[in-house]
Amino acid sequence: MSNLSVIAGKSSEELAKKLSKKINANLVKSEVRIFADGESKTTLNGKISKKKSIVVQSIYPPVDTNLIQALSLISKAKETSSEVIAVIPYMGYARQDREFLPGEIVTMKVLGKLFKGAGASKIIAVDIHSMIGFKHFTIKTKNVSAIPELVQYIKKLSLKNPLVVSPDQGGKERAREFAKELGSEYIALEKIRDRKTGKVQIKTKNIDVVNRDLILVDDMISTGGSIVKATQFLKKQKCKKVYVACTHALLMNDAEKRIKKAGVIKIISTNTIPGKTSIVDISNTIAKAI
């Protein structure tokens, strides 16, 4: 029996399978039954290692269901293994890392307690929305970047004089890192978002993108509002092709359709969230982190 088992949560089955091969671990699958009232019942199939278990479960929609399943898997693994590492490729709730408006609950603080209580000794996430979220955890945490893997894919596209673009100032550091890996230049647009309505406007002036292929880079795309606005703005500046590269493609409420309609040729994302656009495999990066 292997000293290492990978427990595949329902939300990350394929990724867990790839990871278990890379680190030569015994794969334990999970069966989930959802009852009429929304409760989920999880059953594990396979032998759990006494030494170390790695639970792989992304927390994307339905977020609360996938979170409860992650915690349940960790708790079950801890009954047998002396060490449980939780790989949460997409960390739901990571945007709720501080009190933006008075009275708001910092949900990441709650998650920190839950993961520790369930029995995780370490958490590994991929491109967590903000590192501040992990400050609320008392167990070990590690954040890994999907940028090198995404860049490898972009390099195969042989783009014309590529320029990396962040849709906002908040993603400037990411765009800089992406451009450095790619060996290109980068810019960050300036946007204003109304905290109450969520409406986005771009206030950047005078950028020269004429005849250049652009890669819009973000950590996650939820409804795609910022990407759509940025693409429309860049298209008016007479750029050539526009690609989108992101780690987590949530693509809620027809986001993919609206992004394509705005003029994006292709959305490239990783398999932290399985879907049509998740063509970049991140299992290697996670394997190294383990």
Catalytic residue among 18, 76, 109, 191: 191
Residue 287 phi, psi (nearest 5): -60, -45
For residue 62, cis peptide bond before it (omega within 30 degrees of 0): yes
Q: Give dist(CA 229, CA 271) in Å, integer.
A: 25
Taking Cα atoms as reference points, which of 218, 228, 236, 288 lies closest to residue 258? 228
Q: Give dist(CA 191, CA 267) in Å, integer.
A: 21
**What are the residues facing 201 on neighbouring strands?**
192
Residue 280, sorted as left (phi over 0), alpha (psi -120 to 50) or beta, turns out to be: beta
191 is catalytic: yes
- In terms of Cβ atoms closer than 10 Å to its own Cβ (0-12, 13-18, 19+), residue 250 is buried
Contact indicator for 174, 215 with CB cutoff of 8 Å: no
| Rg over CA atoms, the chain | 20
Q: Give dist(CA 91, CA 272) in Å, integer.
A: 9
Q: What residues are annotated to the active site?
A: 191
